[in-house]
Structure 1
Amino acid sequence: MNPQKHNYNLPTRSNLCKIFAITAFILYIFIIYHHSISSFCNSPLKKPLINKAIASSISPSPSPPSPPPPTNVSHLVFGISGSVNAWRDRKAYFREWWRPNVTRGYIFFDKVPTMDILPWPGINKLPPYRVSENTTKFKVYSRHVKPEVIRIVRTILETFREGDKDVRWYIMGDDDTIFFLDNLVDLLGRYDHTKYFYIGGVSECVKSNFDFSFEMAFGGAGFALSYPLVEALVANIDRCVETYPFYFVSDQILSACIADLGVPLTSEKGFHQIDLVHDISGFLSAHPQAPLISLHHLDIATPIFPTKNRHKSVRNLMTAAKVDQSRLLQQTVCYHKQKSWAFSIAWGYSAYIYEHTIPRSILRRPLETFTPWSLKRRPPDYMFNTRLVNNNSCETPHVFFFRSIKRVISNSNSNNNNNSNSHSNTTTTDEIMMTYTRYKPRQLPPCSPNHSADHITKIRVYSPTTKLDFAENRGECCDVLNHVDGKNTAEVRIRACKKTEIIIV
């Protein structure tokens, strides 16, 4: 078999020349391109652009702006409407809450102060005073149903014109309004001051709210306005005064103007107008589960501590407030099961012992020791449920009032249940100890034999040194420490509630 023959076509000289020419052209293009890139990169005009592009590709993205610092008292400015004739008696209330050289604000008087209140003490004791602008020049003055309220309405405008820096909130109130600054700052810190907010409280009485508005912050209780809202309000305040010449009180005009700006009332239960008269201890002893922000009309109600005058009563309450405002008036309920006693503690104010284990759901209703502001009563009188005062031994409490407060190092038992006979470890705890003393004998027979609390003359209450966190949206619990028969002192320890704990017997 003959091998197959293959024909191999060798390139001709002409083809070799073509291949060489094409290769040389490609090499030439490559050299030109490489030279152009090198020239571009080495150019002094192009280097910054390239470096910037490289840097931007490897540098991290800019971090978001840091949040503003938490709200503090320096972010608040107070505008207080005052009366020269009333200032002599009301300045004692004012001094109890005002913090010289810390709190910012102004008192706007209705006329030039008289010599009996001059010379003015200065900002190291009181805020500067101003005399309100003459409002008789306004056309609406002569046709307004109560022209003197125009001055009070425009207090917010005059306060804003003072031009204070770094203001987040303007706080309006009367010269007999008592503010609790720490609680107020904490409350406002929950809200965005860059938005439109109108924060306050309504009256305790249905009739007052019906007569004026259920959507109005009562000025005696004080109210807070965010900076953006005040900006919008002062731009329109005089138009609002002219629009509402038929409103009797300044609060109504301001509320209507704010509503016309499209801003609703944000109601907070800690602002208290106190449209209640006579003995308001029942109301204060069952405060709603909210931080205490303000009290008003304390110069009209009977002294809140019955053994002291009005001014000393406020000072006594402030003694507790200086230690822990967050718990002030907060109600805590617990039981002594062997004695069938119920304890209701209003922190820093009062302590009640009932000779019957009344549920907390009932004890949170105030005892009606007070009467409504208006004599024209038509039930329902109040914006909350009450309990009537009676002579039933099982429903009438033994009443004790706050006497003293101090921080102590206590030995606390990890098992404070007064029904338990078990032994547990004792720990050392830094606590606040308050003493409450009996007001007067109850002068009623015991609810049941051998369960009388008549011999108790003093109650010691221990509470944590940490602030009460309202964000938990839950009150605290307490334990009645083992009580020895024959002793005249009972002891209660306030603590955080356990996860599923219910305050019931």
Structure 2
Amino acid sequence: MSSARETIHDPFKAWRFLVFPTIKPSDVFNFVMKTTLAVFTVLSVSLFFYYALSNQVQLRSCPHCDRLFPHRKFSDINYNFPRDTHEKTNISHILFGIGGSAQTWNERRLYSDLWWKPNVTRGFAWLDEKPPENYTWPETSPPYRVSADTSRFNYTCWYGSRSALRIARIVKESFELGLDNVRWFVMGDDDTVFFVENLVTVLAKYDHNQMYYIGGNSESVEQDMVHSYTMAYGGGGFAVSYPLAADLVRVLDGCLDRYASFYGSDQKVQGCMAEIGVDIRGDPYGLLAAHPVAPLVSLHHLDYVKSIFPSLTRIEALKRLISAYKMDPDRALQHSFCYDLNRNWSVSVSWGYTVQLYPSLVTAKRLETAYLTFKSWRTWKEEPFTFNTQPLSQDPCKRPIVYFLDRVERVGEEKTLTTYKRHSNEVDKNCDRINYAPALAVQHFNVSASTLNPDIWKMAPRRQCCEIINGGEDMVRVTIRGCNQFESVTPL
């Protein structure tokens, strides 16, 4: 649920995203030759691309539902669902359902603890069994519920796990809790990190009284071909509006057996949705450094990919990214380009994450295209993906000099200053071109920017402009701002 394009289609899509461990300097741009097993699923390139998918079928009446679920008057849902549109959707309207396991929660909870806000966020971690008697449930984690027994359902996918049945029923069991004031049910895994403010921004765009299934498909074409192009890939997260959930609970258990051969919970849910009406491996650097013009909503499969900051552990790296996100949620990972015509330099900024310096003039088209530092999930191939990629040059002098976020601070009420520190790579050792010497002397980038207004996502997306306003020998100052009328990101 994070990303670049938005369409309204068939029900369901998802979000996912990021991460790389301490690695040798060359690994930042040299994954193709040296890789460790890792899994990075993007929700939405944003990863997160996210897609909004709606079902045009009207809600059907459910006479027996009032008896089954006395906390909800289902007969009134039919055509007169309360349209409380006077209040803008906020975090209190979202109920999270996190799929987890009692045996692994103590380790995996570190991801949930990064975004869960006790007494603010609502929801539960759904476990396969009760935690051990001697285990004290952390106050920083979502409260837990134990999923109902699913042994009565068929599961015939030979390479999968029956846990998919339990996870598929989380939306149903969450609905049946009958909690008040719920507009959206948001599902995710225990290794999913949600960027809650941006999630609210995305969901607030849609009428929660309608039947919506929102998320993103996989960035790996082979995954989409095997599973579905119209499926929300669940680990990165997907959202179901209340009216759609009301209809889904009626058919879910029955259709689980009809789709017994389906591998995952997200695929099973999508099959049931049909009845009602990115996965990558390796180093995610290239993908995150070229994030699309869309809000960052979630990151997924973080246990299986490299730390996004080479010198930090996975959790430490996420905390650093989140420190920037908290300063300016809507600007996180937003991609801007600058040019220094005096020195013939090109600069690419992925805000809150990385800066790339090219000691040459590079076209905007090339700057916006993700470096292929990753491979497909299923077959570990370098293609195809549902977005453009470019290979890493074998010539170290044609690769950019890389800088990673070092710190972030607020300057006044409406501005931020982020500092990026140079990360040593192959260019330092192997490139002896004269034009690289001044660039290699740059140790830091200081990037200033005004806080991005979330209303920007209600308009046609446009990349913000960037300019180098000052520069010394070892530090370059950059400012990011909205583009002026008729202004191009590339100097004419």
Report what 2:462 is aligned to.
Answer: 474
TM-score (norm 1): 0.76
Alpha-carbon offset, residue 465 of structure 1:
2.5
SS in 2 for 1:351: strand
Unaligned runs of 5+ in 1: 1-64, 263-272, 410-428
Provide the aligned length of Structure 1 versus Structure 2: 403
RMSD: 1.9
Written as runs of structure 1 = structure 2, the 5 A alignment for 1:340-419 is 340-375=344-379, 377=381, 380-392=383-395, 395-409=398-412
Q: Give 1:157 shift.
A: 1.0
Give the Cα separation in 1 of the matches to 2:435 and 2:169: 63
Please say if residues 294 and 457 of structure 2, whose CA atoms lie closer than 8 Å, have aligned partners that are also in contact: yes
Q: Residue 16 of structure 1 corresponds to which residue in structure 2?
A: none
Look up the match of 1:169: 184
CA distance, structure 2, for counterparts of residue 330 and residue 450 of structure 1? 27
The equivalent residue for 1:81 is 99
Task: Report the AA paired with residue 403 of structure 1.
Answer: D
Q: Which moved more, 1:145-154 or 1:125-134?
A: 145-154
Over 4 Å off, 4+ runs: 142-146
Task: Kindly provide the CA deviation profile for residues 252-290 of structure 1, in whole angstroms up to 9, marking residues without a partner as x.
Answer: 11001112111xxxxxxxxxx4x2222211111111111
3-state secondary structure, aligned to 1:482: strand
Matched letter for residue 180 of structure 2: K
Paired with 1:449 and 1:225, the residues of 2 have a C-alpha distance of: 53
User: Please, which of 193, 200, 207 is the counterpart of residue 215 of structure 2?
Assistant: 200
**Residue identity in the other structure for 2:282:** H
Residue 92 (str. 1) matches residue 78 (str. 2) = no
Is residue 402–residue 437 contact of structure 1 (8 Å, CA) maintained in 2?
yes
Change (3 A) 1:376 1:126: closer
Do the aligned partners of 1:283 and 1:366 also contact (CA within 8 Å) in 2? yes
Quote how far apart the aligned CAs of 1:449 are. 3.5
Is 1:337 the counterpart of 2:325? The answer is: no
TM-score by length of 2: 0.78
Tell me which residue corresponds to 1:461: 447
Q: Deviations 1:482-504 (Å, cap 9, x if unpaired)?
A: 323xx200010000001111111
Q: Larger RCO: Structure 1 or Structure 2 (Cα < 8 Å, ≥ 6 residues apart)?
A: 2
Structure with higher Rg: it is 1
Aligned partners of 1:84, 1:311: CA distance in 2, in Å? 21
| Alignment partners' CA distance in 1, 2:85 and 2:280 | 43
Contact in 2 for aligned 1:107/1:127 (Cα 8 Å): yes
Question: Are residues 338 and 451 of structure 1, via their aligned partners in 2, closer, same or farther at CA, if it must alter by over 3 Å?
Answer: farther
List gaps (5 residues or longer) in structure 2: 1-82
- Check the 8 A contact 2:198/2:329 in 1, yes or no: yes
For residues 47-98 of structure 1, the C-alpha deviation after alignment (integer angstroms, 9 at most, x for no partner) is: xxxxxxxxxxxxxxxxxx9842110000000011102233222111111111
1:141 is aligned to: 154
Contact 1:283 1:367 (C-alpha < 8 Å) held by counterparts? yes
Task: Call closer, same or farther: CA 1:450–1:330 in 2, change over 3 Å.
Answer: closer
The change in CA–CA distance for 1:306 and 1:129 in structure 2 (over 3 A counts) is same
SS at match of 2:441: coil
> Match of 2:104, as an amino acid?
A
Matches within 5 A, 1:36-435: 67-114=85-132, 118-122=135-139, 125-136=140-151, 138=152, 140-141=153-154, 146-262=161-277, 273=278, 275-375=279-379, 377=381, 380-392=383-395, 395-409=398-412, 430-435=414-419
Q: Deviations over 1:114-133 (max 9, x none)?
A: 357x21124xx222101111
Partner of 1:39: none
Q: Distance in 1 between matches of 2:155 and 2:415?
A: 60
Task: Name the SS of the counterpart of 1:474 in structure 2.
Answer: coil
